Amino acid sequence: MIDHGRWLLLASAGMSYTGEGDILPSQQKHWIPLGAVTLGYHLMDRFTLQGQVYAHGAPYRGSVMSPLVHTGVPVTVSAHYRLSAKHVLSFGFQEKLNYGASPDFGIFIGLDLASAPSADRIDGS
């Protein structure tokens, strides 16, 4: 994570392991790569805008069901408002960049009760 002045940059990469399953066990992939990049901008002391691109590998191989064999690449655009030192209200939407992966649009709203950034982290003092 890089949090410099009003800009925020996050990056992550990893692997997801799935054990033996009952659904299409011969086509199931056990190791699935994943990663994300997030760019945020602290617009005001309490208000942050963020964009994220996330990607994950296909969970199955050889299936005729399109969502099971395609890589997922959703993009999320969100806004976060710090209500207090420990409460953040978030809202946004998510859209898939690729077709055939799964349902491709979602809207969300959330309330974080524990991890709001402090104002001094935002203005760098």
Between 23 and 51, the higher pLDDT residue:
51
Tokens of 3: 């949090």
pLDDT of 23 higher than 70: yes
**Which pTM does this prediction carry?**
0.75
For residue 112, what pLDDT band results from cuts at 50, 70 and 90? very high
40-67 average pLDDT score: 91
The pLDDT value given to residue 119: 47
* Separation of alpha carbons 57 and 14, rounded Å: 11
Residue whose C-alpha is closest to residue 96's, from 62, 61, 66:
66
| Per-residue confidence (pLDDT) for residue 124, from 0 to 100 | 44
Q: Where are the beta strands (DSSP E) in 1-125?
A: 2-4, 7-17, 31-44, 47-56, 74-84, 87-96, 105-112
Sheet holding 74-84, edge to edge: 2-4, 7-17, 31-44, 47-56, 74-84, 87-96, 105-112
- How is residue 54 written in tokens? 């996330």
What is the pLDDT averaged over residues 81-86?
Answer: 90
Residue 117 has pLDDT above 60, yes or no: no
The predicted model gives 69-98 an average pLDDT of 91
Between 100 and 94, the more confident residue is: 94
| Mean pLDDT value of segment 91-101 | 82
Q: Where are the domains of the chain?
A: 2-15+32-123
The position carrying tokens 């805008």 is 49
77/70: higher pLDDT? 77
